[in-house]
Chain A
Amino acid sequence: MNLLDIKNLHVKLEDEDREILRGLTLSVKPGEVHAIMGPNGSGKSTLSYVLSGREGYEVTEGSVTFKGEDLLEMAPEMRAAKGVFLAFQYPIEIPGVATMQFLKVALNAQRKARGEKELSTPDFMRLVKDRAAKLNVTQDMLKRPVNVGFSGGEKKRAEILQMAVLEPSLCILDETDSGLDIDALRVVADGVNALRSPDRAMIVITHYQRLLDYIVPDFVHVLSAGRIVKSGDKGLARELEAKGYAEFSKDAA
């Protein structure tokens, strides 16, 4: 069974008539890594927001089924509890909320929603310590308010740490490579690769092929003007790197 089925998805902004996604179709099975590449404005970020339930978008046509259920009917927190995780392109800074507290509230809220027992404080601390060490997330970062004063690389590592702690079944990585130098990129990619597993799928959204040298996808899709115009294997990413998106942007015009 597919983990995620997006069928003929049409999306526009609530306060604008212009469609951003115009008939996007994509199926993802557990264990697969799909890369979605495309020029700026092709709808990559919109796709990630619509899947995670951000306000401000209106689905005018089509459906999204996740684990056999209508994803679009669920509130964002319910999607998260069911296993959807979005690693933000620009992680949000939240002053006054300590990272540790945030992680604990989030994890226990998800467990509660799934009817699981909440994790005790010592068990939670052990879990976070273990996952944080692998991502070079320091104790100091964990004590600070969520993302406040973090560098670009620290923010992305913190996103992956959240992913590692929350253990979602569908990870959506939105331009995770943006603003990272090559060393930071390697740490983040290692963190992501460590989370690859037969029952977890990933959608890696990126403008550049570079990230895909480190997180090697099973499938590559080209998104242009709101729909997938070409699909292939990892070779397609290299082709795009060489030729650019020019071939597809005609389509956008």
Chain B
Amino acid sequence: MNALPVRTEAEQALGFDLPHRRMEEWRWTDLRQLVDRPYPPRQKEVAAAGDVERLLASSLFRNVAATRMVFVNGEYDAAHSRMANGWVESRIPMEDPLVRLNTSFATDGARLKFEGNTDTPVELVFIATDAAPRMLATHNVIEVADNSSATLIETHLGAGTYLSSSITEIRVGHGARLDRVKSEIEAPGATHLAHADVTLAHSATLRDFTLTTGARVNRQNGTYRFAGEYADARVSGAYLLAGRQHADTRLVVDHQLANCVSRELFKCVLGEQARGIFQGKVIVRPGAQKTDGKQSSHALLLSGTAEFDAKPELEIYADDVACGHGATAGELNHDHLFYLKSRGIPEAEAKALLIAAFAGEAFETIHHDGLREALTAFAAHWLTQHRRAS
């Protein structure tokens, strides 16, 4: 007797059913409501002169020595890129609605295989220039060969109102290491829907950090699978949100095999009417003994109207494991504030220091000094300079 709901305007334009709150994983992020206008799939667009340069300059990592690959409005932009694209086959499962949405429309994306030890970070920059509301979809596939290492930066930014759909598929080889730093600094009118699908081979190491601060609506999924033993994945993130921003991260860490380590740490700063959500699921499959999996999420609420929801889930089918989770939400500590002010630090600066200190814990897993420093500086100035008006 379940009548199919009538498609929203946005769904009609996409020709696609969006996930909604009656689906458990989407209970806080009802895209049928949040995607509140049609975003027709991208038309071929030419960016206005100077637009790309101006937007490129807003990357947090503009001063970090990096090799850049630039995608403008969903397409590789040779003029602003410092490296050529390659080809790596996609193997992503099609179960997730965001993955299906993306693969229906993806126009381009980085396809890179890293071999050997790459010292200079590679920054992928995804730019949406100001134009009519539309959807832009990119699909990256990144492979780090056995015993190789690389540092990958993903920057998502733009101007105007648009929906940005992004998939990053990652395979980290035997004994290999990937350091990934993603910054979502999209335009205030943007909707950012992303999915990271990561597979780690035997003895692989992953350090994955995501800054979430730009878009009006953000949903980021991450799936982390251990396909070999003795792999180690640390997934961390920071939210710096204000106005009516909404960000929801859902991670699934799947311990299929024994002797792997996973850590998730999210620090969420939420001001005004912002809403932050963290959903973390850890699965320990039968036989995945000696699994060491822990997750925690912490929110700093800067106003009485900000909201934080956390949903930790543990599914454990092995008996010799160390797993745990924790979530907290609180406001700025008044004793800390008074101590700083009593030393002459004005209120706004004192708050900024404490916010940066709170978020900073999530930066600690970032190995690259320049990247960590750029994020620290951004967090320190966020309250006074970058915060969006509602």
Contacts and interface: CB of A to CB of B under 8 A. Distances in A.
Which of A96, A102, A107 has its CB near the most chain B CB atoms (within 10 A)?
Answer: A96
Which of B339, B343, B350, B354 has its CB near the most chain A CB atoms (within 10 A)?
Answer: B343
A162 B346 CA distance: 17
A195 interface: no
Nearest to A54: B338
Interface of A: 52-55, 75-77, 79-81, 85-86, 88, 91-92, 94-97, 102, 105-107, 109-110, 113, 145-146, 162, 166
B22 interface: no
B343 A102 contact: yes
B356 interface: yes
Interface residues of B, number: 22
15 contacts: A54-B338, A75-B341, A77-B341, A77-B345, A77-B350, A85-B342, A91-B339, A92-B335, A92-B336, A92-B339, A94-B340, A96-B360, A105-B345, A113-B346, A145-B357
B344 A106 contact: yes
A94 B344 contact: no
Contacts of B358: 96
A145 B340 CA distance: 13
B336 A109 contact: no
A14 B336 CA distance: 20
B328 to A, nearest CB: 13
Nearest to A168: B344
Interface of B: 334-336, 338-347, 349-350, 353-354, 356-358, 360-361
A80 B349 contact: no
Contacts of A53: 341-342
A55 B335 CA distance: 10
Nearest to B357: A96
A116 to B, nearest CB: 12
Contacts of A113: 344, 346
A80 B336 contact: no
Given A105-B353, A106-B344, A55 B334 contact: yes
Contacts of B341: 53, 75-77, 80
Given A55-B334, A105-B349, A94 B339 contact: yes
Nearest to A52: B342
A97 B354 contact: yes
Contacts of B354: 94, 96-97
A88 B350 CA distance: 18
B116 to A, nearest CB: 35
A55 B338 contact: yes
Nearest to A145: B357
A110 B344 contact: yes
B357 A106 contact: no
B336 to A, nearest CB: 5
A162 B341 CA distance: 13
Given A94-B336, A106-B340, 15 more contacts: A52-B342, A53-B341, A76-B338, A77-B344, A77-B345, A77-B346, A86-B342, A92-B335, A92-B339, A94-B357, A95-B361, A96-B354, A97-B353, A106-B345, A166-B343
A75 B347 contact: yes
Nearest to B339: A92
A109 B349 contact: yes
